[in-house]
Amino acid sequence: MEGATGNSTTPRAVPPLLADVEVSNLPGFDVTPTPSPRHQDAATPTTPSARPQPSPKKASRPGGLPMDRVTRRSEVVLPSLESPFQAPGYRTMQPVSISLPASPTGFGAPAIPAGLGGGAGGDPDGLRRQAMANAAARGEPQPSPPAAQDKHGGSVRFAHQPDKVVFRSQPIPGGQPAPPGSARAGRAGSRVMSRDKRYDSFKTFSGKLERQLTHLARAPEVHDDEEDGEDDAITTSRSTSMPKVDRFFAALEGPELDQLKSSEELVLPSDKKWPFLLRFPVSAFGMSLGVSSQAILWKTIATSAPTTFLHVGTKVNLVLWCISVALMCAITAVYALKVAFFFEAVRREYYHPIRVNFFFAPWIACLFLAIGVPPSVATELPRWLWYALMAPVLVLELKIYGQWMSGGQRRLSKVANPSNHLSVVGNFVGALLGASMGLREGPVFFFSVGLAHYSVLFVTLYQRLPTNETLPKELHPVFFLFVAAPSVASMAWARITGEFGYGSRVAYFIAMFLYASLAVRINFFRGFRFSLAWWAYTFPMTGAAIASIRYSTEVDNTFTKALCVALSAVAVLTVTALFATTLVHAFVLRNLFPNDISIAITERKMKPIIELHESQGEDGSTKSNDIEAGSAQ
């Protein structure tokens, strides 16, 4: 998709990380070759499709393997069309290691390098190689490798293999220089203007939807029919599978489980920028949470007795509220597009142990918007709104808490992490809104469910069980979520009972203690990569500030006033700083939406591959040849 434009033009633009054995500078490997339909046609019917394990990929491409660089993969063995789907198919390029066949004799099964397809249509060389590989797979006599090798200046790889395995160093990038209007990932293999099929496994219905739209959008290609047929055949033979929860823990690390371990690989190319929708995580809703909680804060400051001395008008609330509504609409629209076009990616996010909690974020943000609605917009909200907002929360809760209790591998002792607070705080926010709307039973219902599950989560997180793999060893902003639940619970209970009684005070003091306990360790919050999810961690601070204001309306003295002003100031400053950081990342560094690797892990860990750190260049290629030759025997 965004196609390889940068890389494709420079031959050998292999970043140092990609120390491929391949190290080739072959334009065919590193550069998007000009598509040659002739070759593609030849290769088309025989190319097996690769599949990134977990999602049903759309068969696509003749050669269209979703993976792109994959070539290396050691064991990636791509089955031919008729063979049943094998999960560990491919991997796309590996950023750090060089892949070699898993075993010296591991070429028994012809490994069709995944990358073949590459979006591209265009690599005649690659396609030819693939054709060779296919032929090899079928046990046909192979054309002389060297011939093929010479083809493009050396597909270094496969010259020496007596076996049929073909290695490919680089993905055939999807963005062909040539393909007119091919900007999107399309049915790859086929032709120049095909879409980049590497991402099809993440698309809704494996990209069929997009194909339909493609067909509607432009005149169907000649090759479409045959490809459709193949694709359907392949798709039906594939089964949908998702990485198990253990895979997420095995492959990812970091407090937000978003960093790939060095021994792992991705199913999507890691050197290309993925389609924007694929890079848009559900944790983007955290932005909405952060801004809408600020709107509530300013509303509270403007309308509460202890803070009247600040003389803050209600305009700030109005402006912030309008901004947060606009932001919420924008994020919802983009994510709705993602659901429509990349449903598999959304499913993977749902199975991610941390990201699943962010599925509560849109509803919590809507609840915040309802709580913070400026008096000039609406003073009385309709009751059905509360039911409409809480219904999805209830359904999600039934699913997720049920999983904690009885859902196979997702046991709480293993997956508990501070982000789970997002699952629990929704209950309290809903109770707060319902109580302020005058409802009686519903808020108590959600409060009790939230309280029961919060106590379980609280105990589990405090225990820091050894079996718990998700707790960050170091302090991370995610820990601020600890403060969210008690502060919102205290406000909700105050609303339910009509007064800031003992229950609310106990909850409030717990929140203050946790806040203080994190604040004194502020030095340790260092060295983390910024991510959009950080916005979600600001709303607890805002919530604590609002709870303090509520408390100081009850207990009015200088200390409490100073406390609420201080906490509000901290919250506002944090959000401002975060806003500035976001702007910097968005416009200056341009990496606000990096490749979302946590959803692209492989379903099954590939067998260990021999890591070679070849130096790039001719020597490297020679060496690699030798190694391959050596291992081939």
Partner 1 sequence: MAAGDEAAAAASTVAVSLNNNDKPRRHHPAASGKEENRHRPWAMLTRFHAGYFRISLALSGQALLWRTLTSDDNSSTATELRPLPLVRSLPSAAFLLLWSLALLALLALAALYAARCLLRFHAVRAEFRHHVAMNYLFAPWISCLLLLQSAPFLRPDAPPYHLLWWAFSLPILALDVKIYGQWFTRGRRFLSMVANPASHITVIGNLVTARAAAKMGWHEGAVAIFAVGAAHYLVLFVTLYQRFLGSDSLPAMLRPVFFLFFAAPSMASLAWDAISSSFDTCCKMLFFLSLFLFASLVSRPALFKRAMRRFSVAWWAYSFPLSVLALASAEYAQEVRQAAANGLMLVLAVLSVAVTLALMLFTALRTADLLPHDDPFDHGCPQLPT
Piece of the chain touching partner 1 by CB under 8 A; list 233-241, 271-279, 456-464, 508-516: 456-464
Asked if 312 interacts with partner 1 (CB under 8 A), we say no
Return the number of the residue (336 or 405) whose C-beta is nearest partner 1.
405
Return the number of the residue (326 or 452) whose C-beta is nearest partner 1.
452
The pair of structure tokens assigned to 520 is 């004194």
Piece of the chain touching partner 1 by CB under 8 A; list 331-339, 365-373, 441-449, 565-573: 441-449
Asked if 448 interacts with partner 1 (CB under 8 A), we say yes
Distance CA 489, CA 508 (A): 8
Asked if 441 interacts with partner 1 (CB under 8 A), we say yes
Return the number of the residue (340 or 456) whose C-beta is nearest partner 1.
456
Task: Find out whether 508 and 447 touch, Cβ atoms under 8 Å.
Answer: no
What is the closest distance, in whole angstroms, from the C-beta atom of residue 451 to partner 1 in the complex? Answer: 7
How many residues of this chain bind partner 1 (CB under 8 A)? 29
- What mask of x and - would describe binding to partner 1 in positions 165 to 194, judged by CB under 8 A? ------------------------------
Return the number of the residue (411 or 607) whose C-beta is nearest partner 1.
411
Asked if 391 interacts with partner 1 (CB under 8 A), we say no
Asked if 452 interacts with partner 1 (CB under 8 A), we say yes
What is the closest distance, in whole angstroms, from the C-beta atom of residue 446 to partner 1 in the complex? Answer: 8
H/E segment holding residue 569 = helix 558-583
Q: Which listed residue (176, 460, 490, 548) binds partner 1 by CB under 8 A?
A: 460
Return the number of the residue (340 or 465) whose C-beta is nearest partner 1.
465
Beta-sheet strands, E only, within 198-298: 252-253, 259-260
Alpha helices in 262-314 (DSSP H): 276-279, 285-303
Q: Which listed residue (112, 234, 432, 451) binds partner 1 by CB under 8 A?
A: 451
Tell me which residue of 154, 89, 79, 153 sits closest to 109, measured CA to CA: 79
Amino acid at 285: F
Q: Which listed residue (455, 576, 615, 622) binds partner 1 by CB under 8 A?
A: 455
Tell me which residue of 361, 351, 350, 359 sits closest to 324, measured CA to CA: 361
Asked if 445 interacts with partner 1 (CB under 8 A), we say yes
Angle at 535 between CA 479 and CA 448, to 5 degrees: 60
| CA distances, 476 to each of 293, 459, 519, 577 (Å) | 21, 19, 12, 17
Asked if 495 interacts with partner 1 (CB under 8 A), we say no
Return the number of the residue (280 or 401) whose C-beta is nearest partner 1.
401
Piece of the chain touching partner 1 by CB under 8 A; list 213-221, 233-241, 267-275, 458-466: 458-466
Scanning residues 497 to 516, which ones bind partner 1 (CB under 8 A)?
Answer: 497
Return the number of the residue (147 or 405) whose C-beta is nearest partner 1.
405
- What mask of x and - would describe binding to partner 1 in positions 265 to 294, judged by CB under 8 A? ------------------------------
Asked if 384 interacts with partner 1 (CB under 8 A), we say no
| CA distances, 498 to each of 202, 430, 438, 502 (Å) | 49, 16, 11, 12
Amino acid at 61: R
Residue-wise over 571-591: b if at least 16 C-beta within 10 A, else e?
Answer: bbebbeebbeebeebeeeeee
Q: Which listed residue (10, 103, 467, 576) binds partner 1 by CB under 8 A?
A: 467
Asked if 447 interacts with partner 1 (CB under 8 A), we say yes
Return the number of the residue (406 or 523) whose C-beta is nearest partner 1.
406
- What mask of x and - would describe binding to partner 1 in positions 393 to 422, judged by CB under 8 A? ----xx--xx-xxx----xxxx-x------
β-pairing, 252-253 vs 259-260, is antiparallel
Q: What is the CA radius of gyration of the chain?
A: 27
Tell me which residue of 540, 367, 543 sits closest to 442, measured CA to CA: 367
Asked if 250 interacts with partner 1 (CB under 8 A), we say no
Return the number of the residue (459 or 569) whose C-beta is nearest partner 1.
459
Task: Find out whether 125 and 35 touch, Cβ atoms under 8 Å.
Answer: no
Dihedral (C-alpha) 274, 278, 281, 282: value to the nearest 10 degrees?
180
Distance CA 22, CA 30 (A): 10
| CA distances, 94 to each of 14, 24, 218, 442, 484 (Å) | 12, 15, 35, 51, 39
- What mask of x and - would describe binding to partner 1 in positions 541 to 570, judged by CB under 8 A? ------------------------------
Contacts of 371 (CB under 8 A, 6+ apart): 296, 429, 432, 433, 436
Q: Which listed residue (449, 518, 533, 571) binds partner 1 by CB under 8 A?
A: 449
Q: Which listed residue (209, 465, 471, 506) binds partner 1 by CB under 8 A?
A: 465
Binding site for partner 1 (CB under 8 A): 397-398, 401-402, 404-406, 411-414, 416, 441, 444-445, 447-449, 451-453, 455-456, 459-460, 465, 467, 496-497
